[in-house]
């Protein structure tokens, strides 16, 4: 009999489980219906079983939300930082351009004021190049033969003497600086009127040649152009004496000069196109050309 029951159970195993499940469900429903108030046993059991799972699920969800929110926040912050950096770069560029424009305006104003004070005809030019070699001291300007520039013309600035035009093409010209070994300018010591020749010696330095040993010169004396040779207008600043060496022999004394112009910061220049002599010199020149031996009879 028992063997037959087991055989029947195994044969009808699935229907038996279904019937058992339905009976359990019916029993649970009956218990909930009979409970008048409060929390049922089934609810308590359900809550006890599901609460840890809900807590873990909630923690996971909150964690994922936090990570996502932080990612979105950081992405937004990075984007804003990029925009701010670009804006700062634009403002800094604008500020630098403004400073450069103000500096250029100030230089050009000084150049114009200096030009208006000079009686000589001049042409303004911009320095566009510099000789990179150590053998020559020269710069290139953006004015040439078509602008009336010729070899030998004097080049000056409000700070003082710069040099002479060494060569010229239709649109550009090379200016030999007074610090070049091949440069020589007639000059005088402003305080004592001692005559000398300013020759190039080395970078940003010159030497005074043919300065008589008997002349009274001291360190700090100002040297200006003499006007001889009709190349440079008279009285232009050349530089200041920085060293004097009266040797024990010879007719001349040795002196070094620092130019008044800082050639490393040279940007705009004036080319002297024509030397106009002072009124007194012009009058003397006309008098010397008048026929000799002719006098008024009284």
Domain ranges for the chain, please list them: 65-117, 122-275
Residue 111: name the closest of 99, 125, 121 by CA: 125
Alpha carbons 270 and 113: distance in angstroms, whole number: 12
Residue 206 has what pLDDT? 94
User: Considering only 56-60, 82-86, 152-156, 226-230, which range has the smallest mean pLDDT?
Assistant: 56-60
Cα 42 vs. chain centroid, distance in angstroms? 81
38: left (phi over 0), alpha (psi -120 to 50) or beta: left
User: Considering only 123-127, 165-169, 247-251, which range has the smallest mean pLDDT?
Assistant: 247-251
Q: What is the pLDDT of residues 131-140, one digit of tens each?
A: 876 667 899 9
The residue-averaged pLDDT of 277-297 equals 49
Residue 115 has pLDDT above 70, yes or no: yes
Mean pLDDT value across the chain: 78
Residue 214 has pLDDT above 80, yes or no: yes
Residue 260 has pLDDT above 70, yes or no: yes
**Reported confidence tier of residue 3, pLDDT bands at 50, 70, 90:** low
Q: What is the pLDDT of residues 263-285, one digit of tens each?
A: 888 888 999 987 766 555 545 55
**Reported confidence tier of residue 13, pLDDT bands at 50, 70, 90:** low
Residue 290 has pLDDT above 50, yes or no: no
Alpha carbons 190 and 94: distance in angstroms, whole number: 45
Residue 8 has pLDDT above 90, yes or no: no
As given in the structure block, the two tokens for residue 184 are 């020589």
**Reported confidence tier of residue 31, pLDDT bands at 50, 70, 90:** low
- List, as one string, the DSSP characters of 197-218: EEEEEETTEEEEEEEETTS---
Cα 87 vs. chain centroid, distance in angstroms? 19
Give percent helix, percent strand, percent coil of the chain, each to the nearest 5: 45, 30, 30
The residue-averaged pLDDT of 125-148 equals 86
Residue 210 has what pLDDT? 92
Residue 130 has what pLDDT? 86
Q: What is the pTM of this model?
A: 0.60
Residues 6+ apart with CB under 8 A from 290: none
Residue 295 has what pLDDT? 42
Q: What is the pLDDT of residues 36-82, one digit of tens each?
A: 445 555 555 555 555 566 666 666 766 666 666 676 777 787 788 88
Alpha helices, DSSP H, located in the chain: 2-11, 13-34, 41-117, 279-289
Domain 122-275 belongs to what topology? Thrombin, subunit H (2.40.10)
Residue 2 has what pLDDT? 54
Residue 296 has pLDDT above 70, yes or no: no
Three-state secondary-structure class, residue 226: coil
Alpha carbons 77 and 73: distance in angstroms, whole number: 6
Residue 47 has what pLDDT? 53
From the CB of residue 132, how many other CB atoms can be counted at a distance below 10 Å?
Answer: 6
User: Considering only 117-126, 135-144, 175-184, 225-234, which range has the smallest mean pLDDT?
Assistant: 117-126
Residue 247 has pLDDT above 60, yes or no: yes
Is residue 229 within 8 A of residue 177, CB to CB? The reply is no
Residue 62 has what pLDDT? 65
């Amino acid at each position: 009999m028992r063997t037959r029951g087991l055989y029947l159970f195994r044969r009808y195993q699935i229907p038996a489980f279904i019937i058992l499940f339905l009976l359990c469900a019916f029993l649970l429903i009956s218990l909930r219906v009979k409970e008048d108030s409060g929390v049922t046993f089934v609810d308590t059991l359900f809550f006890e079983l599901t609460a840890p799972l809900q807590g873990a699920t909630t923690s996971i969800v909150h964690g994922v939300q936090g990570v996502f929110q932080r990612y979105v926040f950081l992405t937004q912050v990075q984007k804003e930082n990029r925009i701010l950096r670009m804006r700062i770069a634009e403002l800094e560029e604008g500020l630098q351009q403004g400073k450069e424009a103000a500096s250029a305006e100030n230089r050009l104003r000084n150049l114009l004021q200096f030009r208006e004070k000079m009686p000589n005809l001049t042409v303004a030019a911009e320095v566009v190049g510099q000789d990179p070699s150590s053998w020559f001291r020269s710069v290139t300007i953006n004015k040439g033969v078509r602008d009336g520039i010729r070899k030998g013309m004097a080049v000056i600035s409000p700070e003082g003497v710069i040099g002479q035009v060494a060569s010229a093409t239709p649109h550009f010209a090379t200016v030999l600086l007074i610090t070049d070994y091949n440069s020589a300018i007639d000059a005088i010591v402003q305080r004592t009127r001692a005559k000398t020749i300013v020759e190039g010696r080395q970078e940003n330095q010159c030497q005074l040649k043919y300065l008589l040993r008997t002349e009274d010169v001291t360190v700090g004396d100002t040297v200006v152009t003499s006007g001889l040779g009709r190349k440079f207008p008279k009285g232009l600043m050349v530089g200041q004496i920085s060293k004097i060496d009266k040797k024990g022999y010879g007719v001349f004394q040795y002196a070094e000069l620092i130019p008044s112009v800082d050639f490393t910061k040279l940007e705009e220049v004036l080319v002297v196109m024509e030397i106009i002599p002072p009124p007194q010199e012009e009058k003397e020149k006309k008098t010397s050309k008048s026929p000799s031996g002719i006098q008024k009879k009284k």
